[in-house]
Copies of this chain bind each other. A is one copy, B any other.
Amino acid sequence: MLNALLHPESVAVVGASRNPGKVGHEVLANLLHCGFGGTIVPLNPAARDVLGLPCYPSLKAYGKPVDLSIVVLPAPAVKRAVQDSVEAGAKAICVISAGFRETGAEGLALEEEILQICRVAGAPLLGPNCLGLLNTQHNLNASFARRMPTPGRISVMSQSGALCTAILDWAAGRHLGLAKLVSMGNKADLNEIDFLAAFAADEETRVIVGYLESIGPGKEFMAAAEAAATVKPVVILKAGTTAAGVRAAASHTGSMAGADEAYGAAFRRVGIIRAESFNALMDYATAFAMQPLPKGNRLAIITNAGGPGIMAADAAQQAGLEVATLQGSTATALREKLPAAASVGNPIDVLGDANPDRYVTAVNAAQEDESVDAIVVILTPQAMTEPAATARAIAGCLRGTKPVVASFMGGEDVMPAREELVALNLPDYGAPEPAVAALKAMCDYAAWRSRPPRIVTRFPVNRRRVERILAKHVRLGHPHVGELHSKEILRAYNFTVPAGRLAVTAEDAVDIAIKIEFPVAMKIVSDEILHKSDLGGVKLNLATPEAVRDTFDLMMLRIRRLAPDAHLEGAYVEKMCPAGREVILGMTRDPQFGPMLMFGLGGIFVEIMKDVAFHLAPITAVEALQMLRSTRSCALLEGARGQAGVDITAVASALQRLSQLVTDFPRILELDINPLIVGPAGVEPVVADARITISGAARP
């Protein structure tokens, strides 16, 4: 679909200029001098030729359609140029010029007009306000970036043009090749969703790298990202995460779930490898581009220096990787070939005077050892060290069955070796810790690739009942669904709620209490009162008819005084909940990624310890259990400290039904079950309190 953009056979430069330094000159010069083999058409009404190429006043004058038209005119002239381009048959448009959305309302309007022109013509639009794009496969440098990278396997999409220049320069400094690089600018039309699809399908691309500040429609993004991650690694740095902060929210879950948690949940779901810094972005990409995925997380460390070996082991353990216990046969083989002073444990210390052969011996042993999944090779430049020869020797013995990464430490002495390493597809890092971090990213991605199939259970539920309740709230203009009705909704999705009924008189209340048996709780019922307890609207453990009668009267009296305008339905008389462990289940609908489930242990664990887990709905049975267990406090549910464990599968099932509910009803914006009371195996968890917020019910 993006063929005309990424693989054009002819490129027009609208605004080609004779003046070096002008963007219209640089773009044309880059096309010419980087060796693009297709047709290049400079357009400029004021010139007959530019840089030796015949120049035309317009594409119409040129007379033939081009694949890609690059516009580098001042903003006010862009619309006309785009219109002319598509009329002359240009199949794709790239607007490098700035002066649009980023400048305010007027610029935005202009940008939208240009987009409209492209949409009508069916021409994809890159930019505006971008650096352009590069494709090393065709020596295409359709940008004003001065550097053309060598061909490689990493393709980059970036929301920051300046970061593209930094990446190009960084890659050049490391002799690292790239496949494609696209500066997305304002993303008026084409965005990360399009390039995820394009790079996923691109045979030259082995790794997709993205720098993103905003992310397009969540659902489409996730679909594109998952499709891409299924065939190749996608490493993304999402900037602006902390600044986004936490949205204002009516629910507990909503107040805990910031945009960053949503990105985290979305990225995990679809297998995106998240880079937490610029260095990590490039470090991970390099490893993925050059080495096979590991089959497990057991690491062998080979080093000519004790200290850095320990650093690597420390980093591995902190990252949750295992420092492999080598097989006995490996130690035997190493002992035969290495000097007596060498350490044949893990780290394998080949000693300070190690020659390339010793490294090869150790790397071969680690490759053969079935208890090793990945290898990091460390070299420090000592008196006898031959860095470049060692690099070649190691590269020469690699079998491609396990990932091998290198850390050649130092500066000038190891620089030639580093260039060799990169050229030989051995990723190299200046220190052991980032080398280990890159392997950790590979392990995580490999684990995602081999995840079990996602089978979402559908539970038989009473969907119609929920529809009716929600419809009524919409009709009445009640965005907040109170406890009583929230529980009815949950009951329709097979949640157990305590027996109870609505009482409209004190006598009613006593009758109900006698029927459901004492002790009971009483709660005021009104969809207009959000914080019942603050107004004295909740009383627990009422044990006698007198207590029930007095409470009803007092409650009505007080609430009428404190909230005179609130519509009161009555008081809900409810059986007291059994004792048990309190957990919170919740959902908040993220504007990008949709329903995000939350789990945490009740009270302090959520509020003080922030020990909660998030997961995007729909959730599978396996994921629900993983989600529960990703909280520290889950150990309490499973029976730590000699306490009886609770029925954790029942909580997982509740999460799945909650997931089904919020997936079935997009109208549900936020939902808290706080707390759900969980007992031992075989006892159904009970919803002690719940609250729902819905859309479309705002008062007129």
Contact = CB atoms under 8 A, between A and B. Distances in A.
B607 A313 contact: no
A335 to B, nearest CB: 16
Given A103-B341, A239-B311, A641-B607, A352 B161 contact: yes
A459 interface: no
B307 A158 contact: yes
Contact of A173 (B103, B145, B168, B410): B410
A436 to B, nearest CB: 10
A193 interface: no
Given A160-B307, A279-B433, A409 B166 contact: yes
A165 B410 contact: yes
Nearest to A238: B314
Contacts of A239: 307, 310-311, 314
A294 interface: no
A412 B307 contact: no
A61 interface: no
A644 interface: no
- Best-surrounded residue of A173, A242, A411 (most CB of chain B within 10 A): A411
A685 to B, nearest CB: 20
Query: How many A residues are at the interface, by size bracket?
Result: 35 or more
Contacts of A636: 604, 608
A129 to B, nearest CB: 10
Identical chains in the assembly: 2
Given A317-B243, A433-B279, A165 B411 contact: no
Contact of A431 (B278, B604, B611): B278
A43 B497 CA distance: 92
A498 interface: no
A479 interface: no
A170 B381 CA distance: 10
Contacts of A317: 242-243
- Best-surrounded residue of A159, A383, A384, A641 (most CB of chain B within 10 A): A383
A163 B174 CA distance: 23
Nearest to A282: B431
A632 interface: yes
Interface of A: 21, 23, 26, 98, 103, 144-147, 158-163, 165-166, 168-174, 211, 213, 237, 239-243, 276-279, 304-308, 310-311, 313-315, 317-318, 341, 352, 380-384, 409-415, 430-434, 603-604, 607-611, 632-633, 635-636, 640-641
8 contacts: A160-B306, A169-B409, A172-B411, A172-B413, A173-B410, A277-B431, A278-B430, A278-B431
